[in-house]
Amino acid sequence: MTSFILIAIVLVALALLFVVPPLLRKNQPITDQYDDLNIEIAKDRLKELKVQRDAGEITETVYQQMHDELESTLAIDLSNQAKANKTENSSVAPKGKLTVILVALFVPLLAAFAYSQLGDFNAATGVAVKSVEIPAGEDGRPQMTIEEAITKLEQRLEAEPENPDGWFMLAKTYMSTQQYQKSASAYEKVIALVGDDIQLLLGYADALAMSEGGKLTGKAKPVLDNVMKLAPNSPTVLWMAGTAESQQGNYKEALIFWYKLKPMLDAEPEAQRQLSQLIQGAESQLGADLVADLKAAAPKSKAQPVTESKAQIIVTVDLGSAFKDKVSPTDTLFIFAKALQGPPMPLAAVKLTADALPITVTLDDSMAMMPQMKLSSFEQVKVSAVISKSGRPGAQPGDFYAEIFPVNVGANEKVTLLIDQIK
């Protein structure tokens, strides 16, 4: 640090050697055109300072101090020049001496102040300042933080309040960041737009419950009762309904729901284990005879959950020979189905890389991005394949693509796409 200060003093002294001697020399008459030039230079410098301030390169305090100094310097210059036009004096006038003194003091002070605001004293001590690198996405651009993504989505929905896809994404994002009350409000928006969809209602009930510490007996209870009427055999509904009854101390009713649910989870050992623990806890609160009666009345075979749609489209994709030498194996390949009319969000989508070609994939309801936007909700769709250089979905200029429409969803059609077009 000591060596740094010594070097700084030397540099300031050198600067003063350039500034002070001219001030000590005999004043020379200066014409009006030089007055105008000084004014123009001052204006340009002021513009530069404003740009630096707006860009965040200097603080408002530094800007104001430099602005005031610029005005003072210009006023001094114009005043001295006006006097010099009237008379020549071989000695330095008393006011000129004052100027020299002020400049000699002000330059070091301004340098120290500016460095304290804009510089890094740690650099002089050898202490490394840890830099923060923003991770880059697949397209090389910095990725947004989750907070930035939420803010952008909120701003978009302010401009597009009738966008159900956006509200659903916002609700899910709020849940993942434990902003449960905000998630519930977002679910209310999307339900108001699309109606009583089972998955949306379950998400809404979950958000309400979590906003009250996981309690399903409060605000979530009416929503859960509504879902029970719409989907009485849904495994998720049965699990939540049993939990709600257990939280109220209604262990008999809880066991009725859970006994009905248990055969549905035969293929899910971890879920079976968790459910068995809940059942054991409820059974311990009841008499052995009542538990035996409930078990005897429980379903002996696997109950049928909500019927899943068999709607699917089998898609075979290959690359045209004319483009084989223009495509990199690491280029992103998107295969998706969209509604012929309506929201642009894909009903089903697959993301791969171009080295997978040729390939056959099956698009179905399990790939839906939103519960109410799935293949089985539409009779006909458009099927597309895109090789994206940027890694972003949707054909961009320069991307290769192929598409076919209309494709009948209910017919379990098999379609072939040959990528031989350029956007």
**Do residues 96 and 161 both lie within one domain?**
no
**Do residues 109 and 184 both lie within one domain?**
no
The average confidence (pLDDT) of the chain is: 75
SS3 338: strand
Does the residue 192 lie in any domain? yes
**Whole-angstrom distance, CA of residue 263 vs CA of residue 245:** 20
Domain termination site, one of 238, 272, 297: 297
pLDDT tens, residue by residue, 134-173: 344 444 444 567 788 888 888 888 998 888 888 988 888 8
Range in 49-53, 76-80, 208-212 the model is least confident about: 76-80
83 backbone dihedrals φ, ψ, rounded to 5°:
-70, -35
**Do residues 293 and 316 both lie within one domain?**
no
**Do residues 160 and 274 both lie within one domain?**
yes
**Do residues 241 and 339 both lie within one domain?**
no
**Do residues 207 and 180 both lie within one domain?**
yes
Does the residue 138 lie in any domain? no
Residue 365 maps to which CATH number? Answer: 2.60.40
Note the pTM of the prediction, 2 decimals: 0.43
Does the residue 396 lie in any domain? yes
Q: How many domains, in total, are found in the chain? A: 3
Does the residue 211 lie in any domain? yes
Confidence of residue 345 (pLDDT cuts 50, 70, 90): confident
Beta bridge partners of 312: 364
Does the residue 324 lie in any domain? yes
Residue 194 maps to which CATH number? Answer: 1.25.40.10
**Do residues 54 and 177 both lie within one domain?**
no
**Do residues 54 and 101 both lie within one domain?**
yes
| β-strands 312-319, 414-419 pairing | parallel
What angle separates helix 235-247 from helix 198-211, to the nearest 10 degrees?
A: 30
Domain termination site, one of 252, 269, 297: 297
**Do residues 104 and 79 both lie within one domain?**
yes
Which of 101, 116, 143, 106 minimizes the C-alpha distance to 58?
Answer: 116
CA atoms within 13 A on the CB side of 185: 7
pLDDT tens, residue by residue, 249-282: 999 999 999 999 888 887 777 788 888 889 988 9
The enclosing H or E element of 265 equals none
**Do residues 169 and 273 both lie within one domain?**
yes
The domain in which residue 354 lies consists of 312-422
CA distances from 74 to 18, 80, 400 (A): 18, 10, 62
Highest mean pLDDT (candidates 36-45, 94-103, 377-386): 377-386
Does the residue 303 lie in any domain? no
Tokens of 270: 């971890």
**Whole-angstrom distance, CA of residue 121 vs CA of residue 84:** 44
pLDDT tens, residue by residue, 280-336: 889 989 888 888 888 888 876 544 444 445 678 899 999 998 888 889 888 889 898
Range in 65-69, 77-81, 102-106, 401-405 the model is least confident about: 77-81
**Do residues 279 and 316 both lie within one domain?**
no
